[in-house]
């Protein structure tokens, strides 16, 4: 079996020199909890890491697609889609992607005087499944905010902001019920299409089919499609694709991500198909849309 430790198509990651981190660790606020390294790896076939002596940081791995595994304390644990694990510091471990269905992961290394507070009591991967009150996309937006701030962290104020934001990001995993309670209290009376649209919004990074939607909501595909179209006037897949392009517009306007990176984040295997779909729905190509938005904001 081939094994790669680094270098993946579509990967993104940011790190700082250890000397810079050592200086930040002395800060009374930053030193309590701070990022060492952060990244996103899409469908990373042959991904493999082994640390025989462990590391002086904790690592969070959040799997949003495919599957993988990690090994610690002589046991191997499978990690599936919509699961996360926090690997403690100073413990030998290994992890890697599944050979047949390699994982897509958001990950970060973190340290600090309070970092052990986020170490789980048990090593088993924890589920983060979509439901009527889940906030998966809020969490991913928070990740992008963290990523951006840490990428600017040679400026101390950005490192401070990343450090403070990290508490919220980690809490969205470790305090899951409390994190979701905001949506639960605000969305008690949901229609069928409300529930479906929320589920679609939570899964814009995946290529879901009509059959998968219908199975999740426990209907036949034809009955599911009829119910959704009756309430919205639009077919489920057409609505889902429009949500994907809506999310693409947000990435184009609010980030400096490359267009092929945006396509990957939204589950498009072929950037060319993403561009064609975007053009069909928006009436212009993604590059034209980005240029137009820059012109508008430049004049504002």
pLDDT at residue 287, rounded to an integer: 92
CATH code of the domain made up of 12-183: 2.60.120.280
Among 56-60, 128-132, 205-209, the minimum mean pLDDT is found in 128-132
pLDDT at residue 132, rounded to an integer: 76
Q: In what order do the strands lie in the sheet with 58-65?
A: 12-15, 34-41, 104-111, 58-65, 83-87, 126-127
Please give the structure tokens belonging to residue 185: 């209290």
End-to-end CA distance of the chain: 55
Residue 266 and residue 205 in contact, taking contact as beta carbons nearer than 8 Å = yes
d(CA 247, CA 142): 15
Most confidently modeled range among 186-190, 267-271, 291-295: 267-271
Confidence of residue 8 (pLDDT cuts 50, 70, 90): low
Residue 47 and residue 25 in contact, taking contact as beta carbons nearer than 8 Å = no
Does domain 189-299 fall under CATH 3.40.50.150? My reply is no
pTM score, whole prediction: 0.75
pLDDT digits (tens, 9 = 90+) for 116-172: 999 888 888 999 887 777 888 889 999 999 999 999 999 999 999 999 999 999 999
Q: Among candidates 235, 25, 48, which has minimal Cα distance to 112? A: 25
Mean pLDDT confidence for 57-75: 94
Q: pLDDT at residue 2 above 50?
A: no
Mean pLDDT confidence for 80-86: 94
Per DSSP, helices labelled H in the chain are: 18-25, 136-151, 156-174, 176-186, 192-202, 210-216, 221-232, 236-254, 259-265, 271-282, 286-299
Confidence of residue 6 (pLDDT cuts 50, 70, 90): low
Q: For 118-132, give one letter per residue: b (16+ CB within 10 A) or e.
A: bebeebebeebebee
pLDDT at residue 240, rounded to an integer: 95
d(CA 106, CA 150): 15
Q: Looking at per-residue confidence, does 190 or 192 come out higher?
A: 192
Mean pLDDT confidence for 270-283: 93
pLDDT digits (tens, 9 = 90+) for 12-45: 899 999 999 999 999 999 999 999 999 999 988 8
Among 72-76, 106-110, 130-134, 230-234, the minimum mean pLDDT is found in 130-134
d(CA 75, CA 188): 41
pLDDT at residue 9, rounded to an integer: 66
Please give the structure tokens belonging to residue 68: 């993988």
Cβ count near 294 (within 10 Å): 12
Give the domain ranges of the chain.
Answer: 12-183, 189-299
pLDDT at residue 185, rounded to an integer: 55
pLDDT at residue 1, rounded to an integer: 34
Confidence of residue 231 (pLDDT cuts 50, 70, 90): very high
DSSP string, 118-173: G--SS-S-EE----TT--HHHHHHHHHHHHHHHHTTTSHHHHHHHHHHHHHHHHHH
Mean pLDDT taken over the chain: 89
Q: Among candidates 250, 253, 249, 222, which has minimal Cα distance to 236? A: 222
Among 92-96, 145-149, 291-295, the minimum mean pLDDT is found in 291-295
34: helix, coil or strand?
Answer: strand
d(CA 140, CA 160): 20
Q: What is the largest CA-CA distance in the chain?
A: 61
Q: pLDDT at residue 183 above 70?
A: no
d(CA 227, CA 213): 12
Q: In what order do the strands lie in the sheet with 93-97?
A: 48-51, 93-97, 67-72, 75-80
């Amino acid at each position: 079996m081939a094994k790669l430790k680094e270098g993946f198509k579509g990967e993104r990651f940011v790190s700082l020199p250890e000397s810079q981190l050592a200086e930040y660790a002395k800060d009374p606020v930053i030193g309590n909890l701070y990022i060492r390294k952060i990244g996103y790896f899409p469908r990373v076939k042959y991904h493999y890491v082994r640390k025989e002596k462990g590391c002086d940081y904790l690592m969070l791995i959040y799997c949003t697609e495919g599957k993988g595994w990690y090994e610690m304390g002589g046991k191997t644990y499978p990690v599936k889609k919509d699961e996360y694990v926090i690997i403690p510091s100073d413990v030998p471990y290994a992890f890697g992607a599944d050979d047949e269905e390699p994982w897509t992961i958001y990950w970060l290394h973190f340290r600090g005087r309070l970092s052990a507070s986020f170490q789980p009591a048990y090593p088993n991967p924890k589920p983060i499944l979509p439901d009527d009150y889940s906030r998966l996309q809020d969490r991913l937006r928070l990740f992008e905010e963290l990523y951006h701030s840490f990428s600017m962290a040679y400026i101390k104020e950005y490192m401070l902001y990343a450090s403070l934001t990290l508490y919220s990001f980690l809490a969205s995993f470790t305090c899951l019920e409390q994190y979701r309670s905001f949506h639960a209290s605000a969305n008690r009376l949901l229609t069928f299409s409300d529930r479906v649209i929320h589920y679609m919004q939570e899964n814009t990074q995946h290529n879901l089919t009509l059959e998968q939607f219908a199975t999740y909501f426990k209907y036949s595909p034809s009955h599911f499609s009829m119910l959704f179209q009756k309430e919205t006037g639009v077919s489920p897949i057409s609505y889902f694709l429009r949500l994907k392009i809506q999310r693409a517009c947000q990435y184009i306007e609010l980030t400096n991500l490359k267009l092929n990176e945006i396509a990957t984040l939204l589950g498009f295997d072929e950037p060319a198909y993403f561009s064609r779909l975007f053009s069909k729905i928006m009436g212009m190509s993604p590059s034209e849309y980005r240029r137009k938005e820059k012109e508008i904001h430049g004049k504002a």
